[in-house]
Homo-oligomer: A and B are copies of this chain.
């Protein structure tokens, strides 16, 4: 692995961003930057940080000042991930609703494969120091990612978790860079995700128009009570979040939702020569 082209690895890793939500301790932001820089990641997005800027960030990020200049600050998680194709939420194992869950290593392999073969944008979201991500935030992710730890002891802090994730991202980037340089080289990576795709895949932002549409349609036909939707919206996100729709599929499904709505409110009628089809 030592002969890998560092610039090519960095180019791949530039498509992987770290997102930190409501971070309280500046030291954790500094440590994150240092962890990112050592592994070759460059893009940190802070969602409504509690303390920013702060001298501790600069102190701990010694040597990574170029990354400080590139930090993006946004108000909402939504903004942080809107142009991303694959979004990971970091999470402990117990959650309200099960979600596609990957260990750090296969998550990194999946990410870098998507970057290397389809120039996708990847985000990994880290939550608050004390209570992580909310269920609502976790539901914005396509996958949840976890780092296997000693179950008798518990959890990594956010800086340690970012360290391990960035390390795995780099390892995966090196594998894919080596594979591109030498297509005959064998890799440990599964080829399941090796799909050739004709249509561009939709972004997170487009999916944020998709979910309200399907929910409105289901409310219209009274399949879902908008005042008490229970787990339905979450289940829909989990389901469609793990497909990664392409653009044509996206428009196909939205077309179906619109047709059902039109049928429901009477703006669309069945054709006159319709026989009973049932």
Contacts and interface: CB of A to CB of B under 8 A. Distances in A.
Interface of A: 1-2, 4, 6, 9-10, 34-35, 37-40, 63-64, 93, 98, 100-103, 105-106, 109-110, 147-156, 160, 163-164, 167, 170-171, 174, 188-199, 218-223, 232, 235, 239, 242-243, 245, 248-249, 252, 255-256, 259-261, 263-265, 270-271, 274, 276-278
A191 B106 contact: yes
A38 B192 contact: no
A198 B238 CA distance: 13
Nearest to A150: B40
Given A6-B150, A249-B239, A263-B264, A194 B103 contact: yes
A176 to B, nearest CB: 14
Contact of A248 (B64, B235, B243, B274): B235
Can you tell how many copies of this chain the complex includes? 2
Nearest to A64: B153
Contacts of A156: 38
Contact of A167 (B34, B167, B265): B167
B106 A194 contact: yes
A274 B265 CA distance: 11
Contacts of A249: 235, 239
B10 A150 contact: yes
10 contacts: A2-B101, A2-B148, A38-B149, A40-B153, A148-B174, A222-B271, A222-B274, A239-B243, A260-B260, A263-B263
